[in-house]
Amino acid sequence: MADGNTPPGGPARAAAAVLRPVRDYRRLAWIWVRAVAQYPVSLALMSLAVAVSVLAQVGAVVIVFGHAGTLAGFTVYEGLMVFGLAASAFGIADMFMGAVERLGRHIRSGSLDAMLVRPVSPLVQVAADEFSPRRLGKVVPALAVLGIALAGTDVEWTLGRALLLPLMMLSGVLICCAIWVATGCLQFFVADAREAANSLTYGGQALTEYPIAIYGREIVRSVTYVVPLAFVSWQPALLVLDRPDPLGMPEALRFAGPVIAVLACAGAALLWRFGLRHYRSTGS
Amino acid sequence: MRVHAAVYARGLHRHSTYRAALVAGALTNSVFGAINAMVLLAVFAARPRISGYDAGDAVTQVFVGQALIAVTLIVNTAPSLDLAERVRTGDVATDLLRPVSLLGWWLAQDLGRATFTFFFRGVPTFCVGLLLFDVVLPGGPVHAVLVLASFALAAVVGFALRYLYSLSGFWLLDTRGLWTVAGLVGPVVSGMLLPLALFPSVLADVLRLLPWASMVQIPAEILLGKDTLPGGSVFGALLLQAAWAAALLALGAWATGRATRKVVIQGG
């Protein structure tokens, strides 16, 4: 501790313990940003390509709503709002935690062993590995779509709703981060299983890009109570639009996002600890 | 030819090692197929017919796309042919020393990989589609053979494009940007993201003629027996696929010649 006056066990120390991984992450990520910036043309092209692909997905949503008129009672702008919420939450989570899906590669190559002897949390090191600002190419257009959609929909803005929306978006990001870490942990046990995780991470994004009521009651139940994907875009959308749940699920669920997010993160952290305990190095 | 058969067999055998990855891949393709299919079913519930497609056609195309993902590797945003990495590291020098052409060697190996993943990842994915949705099957043995021929041509087109992306490494220092663009644009223009029938018809007609459509849209329409096929028949469509395969392979052979005259191999 640089600050010698901090009393042991005081609140300042607790805050430092919480902030330390954040600070470590920021430093490691900054190193990668500087490395990636060595190839500015490649970085610009990749960011642009990602942005164009988001616009193509937006085009797909517009085409789908153009043919269908409304889906689950959602108009095209409301549908774009759902898309914007899902794509921005998954995009931000992918930027910060997406690298966890390469855990299997670190295990195979032995670089996880090197991370374990460093005085920084291995999760922070795995997550910050190859951090790339090109993912902003996904986040920025997604947020722009969300903004356009919010402007285009008939939302009765109250102070409560204006404050709750960012909170629910933050919860959505945390839930997505938790899903990335939890599914990444599978690779502690089956190192080849990287793609199985994609069915929940990228698959989760594909699922939540549309009003999930179209998938039917069984799927909505399982993504509410088992894998909490419903809290990424669906419940926040119902909250902002002040709309009754078309499937008659409890209205209180739309306020549950933050609680679910904390539970999901705690669950993911426990899984990570369990996986790391289970880890046996392949040796040299 | 015997060399190529041996390389093909090794390519097939090599990919049989990663069984967990195979199961994980089939699971992921099935989940994506189911999600896409349910979205399209919701659309077709509101409008039962869109440019000659009904719900069953759309769902079938989704699962054709998912079954062929691992064959054509159309969605990969990272280099998906080992040749790309070998150009970057210089290991390609070893490949160039072999008494067979670079193109033929990698084509044989990649078709081995494609064959294996088609039967052990593509077919199971398609079966999941059959179980969960009303997926259309070929009308008879002759139709089935034509569909398989179309899938095989899709694999060749997929290889030829990836071979060209890999060779670009001889001119570009960093090909990752190109692979990213290819992996993001490919699924949109091929009919993987949405069947091209849902696109505005002028755009759809143009996209049908590009090589990417030969990897999803054309094989799906051959299975569905659509009259929107190029030339209006299955044979016209197969001809288009074959023409793209031949043209892209020829371009690959020409680019290989240019690249090998340009390359300088350091050391010994």
Gap between the Cα atoms of A50 and B23, Å rounded: 28
The pLDDT score that the predictor gives to residue B229 is: 80
- pLDDT-derived band at B177 (thresholds 50, 70, 90) equals confident
Alpha helices in A153-256 (DSSP H): 159-189, 194-208, 217-225, 234-241
The pLDDT score that the predictor gives to residue B64 is: 95
**pLDDT exceeds 70 at position B167:** yes
- The larger pLDDT score, comparing residue A194 to residue A256, is at A256
- What 8-state DSSP symbol labels residue A7? P
Which residue is closest to B28 within chain A, CA to CA? A199
Average pLDDT, chain A: 89
pTM (2 d.p.)? 0.88
**pLDDT exceeds 90 at position B171:** no
The interface predicted TM-score of the complex, written ipTM, equals 0.85
Q: Indicate left, alpha or beta for B132 from its phi (over 0: left) and psi (-120 to 50: alpha).
A: alpha
The pLDDT score that the predictor gives to residue A1 is: 40
Contact assignment for A199 to B21 by CB distance below 8 Å:
no
The pLDDT score that the predictor gives to residue B173 is: 72
- The larger pLDDT score, comparing residue B264 to residue A223, is at A223
The pLDDT score that the predictor gives to residue A251 is: 87
Gap between the Cα atoms of B58 and B43, Å rounded: 10
The pLDDT score that the predictor gives to residue B267 is: 54
**pLDDT exceeds 90 at position B14:** no
Q: Alpha carbon B82 to chain centroid distance?
A: 16
List chain A domain ranges.
11-278
Q: What percent of chain A has pLDDT over 90?
A: 50
Q: Which chain B residues are within 8 Å of A67, Cβ to Cβ?
A: 43, 46-47, 50, 198
Q: How many residues does chain A have?
A: 284
**pLDDT exceeds 80 at position A10:** no
Give the mean model confidence (pLDDT) for residues A247-267.
92
Contact assignment for A71 to B42 by CB distance below 8 Å:
yes
DSSP class per residue in A63-130? HHHHHHS-BTTB-HHHHHHHHHHHHHHHHHHHHHHGGGGGHHHHHHHTHHHHHHTSSS-HHHHHHHTT
DSSP class per residue in B110-170? HHHHHHHHIIIIIHHHHHHHHHHS-----SSHHHHHHHHHHHHHHHHHHHHHHHHHHHGGG
Looking at this protein, which amino acid is placed at residue A252?
Answer: A
Give the pLDDT confidence of B194-249 residue by residue, as tens digits. 999 999 989 999 999 999 999 999 999 999 988 778 777 888 999 999 999 999 99
Q: Is A190 on the interface with B (CB under 8 A)?
A: yes
Average pLDDT, chain B: 90
Contact assignment for B18 to A192 by CB distance below 8 Å:
yes
The pLDDT score that the predictor gives to residue A4 is: 46
Contact assignment for A39 to B194 by CB distance below 8 Å:
no
Interface test with A, best of B175, B181, B192 (most A CBs within 10 A): B181
The pLDDT score that the predictor gives to residue A2 is: 47
CB-nearest partner of A42 from B28, B32, B176 = B176
Give the mean model confidence (pLDDT) for residues B143-148.
94
